[in-house]
Amino acid sequence: MKVVMINDCAFVGETLLKYMPLAMEKQHIKRSRGFWSKTFGLAYKVLRARGDVYHVHYLLQDCYFAARLGKRPLVGHAHGSDLREVIKSRKWGWIVRYNLRHCDKILVAQPTILDIAKEYNSTAEYFPIPYDPELFYPKSMPNREGEKLVFLASVHDFEVKGTDKFIYACTKVKVPFKLRMIDYGKDAEKAKVLAKKLGLNVEVIQKVPHENVNGLYWDADLVLGSFGVGQLDTVAIEAMACGRPIVHHILKTYFPQCPLDEFHSIEDVAERISELLVDKEKAKERCKRQLEYVSNFHAANKLAKKLMKIYGEMC
């Protein structure tokens, strides 16, 4: 069997391909955001591709080209904003709806968007975000007696990730700590200005390659994920796999087995940050439950086997 993977999102496709059987033939068609790369260049590559199953990430032009060019069987993989936001757009919404209707199988990376997908395609199912256990695995906590290090791992997007709420919450934490955050995202400049205005001890770092992100998790005493739409993001999954306590907002209705919290106020977030920084036993127990959860539901080696079964049924 040969799988042709088209595009990617948060390294999901790349990670899954790594853990597929060695004997399986694989082709990964990637693109940049340049005009030629994401239009004519992409269509040409898809046209020339030959495989037994085609798996496309994100339900925009990549999936549309594959469907229009008759690539079958076709798996469309939705990752969040394509079904949460783009589908409502006058300009691009029709492409998302077309892709939903014309794929042979739909996978969604978030259970929060599963019902939307099922409106257009009854094959839709939730497929958890994978993490690479060779890159993200637990290490001992740093031995810091004084000032702690808190890593705000999400890209700065106030509406979707809610990183501004975390910055406000940090001002209410009385434990001495330094906040490390990445200079990345559409609201990165606003985040830096806000943190400085509020008088936080902040270290701003540049974005690092994905294979080096693990070091940022291991160096932290606590990780902040997102306080946005309530979905379980890649950074939260990777931080849990690295054995670090993480403060991250989820909707418990959709993630009943996940040991993270559903927050309702900035004060609740501040209280949880303080608790996990001060109480080592509670942080240790939290890390244990987090690691058990991601190992059971998000490890790439397990999810690759699940995906192979889906491919087999389609072929």
Summarize pLDDT for 112-171 with one digit per residue, the tens.
999 999 999 999 999 999 999 999 999 999 988 889 999 999 999 999 999 999 999 999
- CA distances (Å), 140 to each of 134, 291, 305, in order? 16, 13, 30
Distances from the Cα of 168 to the Cαs of 17, 18, 52, 172, 263, in angstroms?
39, 39, 50, 7, 14
Position 92, amino acid: W
Structural domains present in the chain: 2-130+299-314 (3.40.50.2000), 148-297 (3.40.50.2000)
User: What distance in Å separates the CA atoms of residue 4 and residue 186, rounded to the nearest whole number?
Assistant: 32
Q: Which amino acid is it at 270?
A: A
Mean pLDDT (the chain) is 96
Helix orientation angle between 234-241 and 280-297, rounded to the nearest 10 degrees = 110
Tens of pLDDT, residues 181-209: 999 999 999 999 999 999 999 999 999 99
CB within 8 A of 97, min separation 6: which ones?
87, 120
pLDDT attached to residue 37: 83
**Of 31-35, 40-44, 299-303, minimum mean pLDDT range:** 31-35
d(CA 88, CA 85): 6
Q: Which residues contact 164 (CB under 8 A, 6 or more apart)?
A: 158, 187, 190, 191, 194
Query: Within 10 Å of residue 210's Cβ, how many Cβ atoms?
Result: 15
Question: Do the bridges between strand 2-6 and strand 53-57 make them parallel or antiparallel, or are there none, so unpaired?
Answer: parallel
Contact 129, 12 (CB under 8 A): yes
The residue ranking higher by pLDDT, 34 or 167, is 167
**Would the pLDDT of 69 be above 90?**
yes
Q: What is the mean pLDDT of residues 272-298?
A: 97
What is residue 64's predicted lDDT score, i.e. its pLDDT? 97
Q: Give the bridge partners for 2, in sequence order.
A: 25
**Least confident among 29-43, 130-144, 292-306:** 29-43
Residue 39's pLDDT band, with cuts at 50, 70 and 90, is confident
Q: How confident is the model at residue 2 (pLDDT cuts 50, 70, 90)?
A: very high
pTM above 0.75, yes or no: yes
Listed in sequence order, the residues at least 6 apart from 35 whose beta carbon sits closer than 8 Å to its beta carbon are: none
Cβ–Cβ < 8 Å for 9, 57: yes
Residue 145 token pair: 């007696």
Q: What angle do CA 242, 196, 185 make, to 5 degrees?
A: 55
Q: Is 153 left (phi over 0), alpha (psi -120 to 50) or beta?
A: alpha
At 251 the pLDDT is: 97
Q: Are strands 177-182 and 202-205 parallel, antiparallel or unpaired?
A: parallel
pLDDT confidence bin for 74, thresholds 50/70/90:
very high
pLDDT of 34 > 90? The answer is: no
Note the pLDDT tens digit of each residue in 81-122. Answer: 999 999 999 999 999 999 999 999 999 999 999 999 999 999
User: What's the whole-number mean pLDDT along residues 245-257?
Assistant: 97
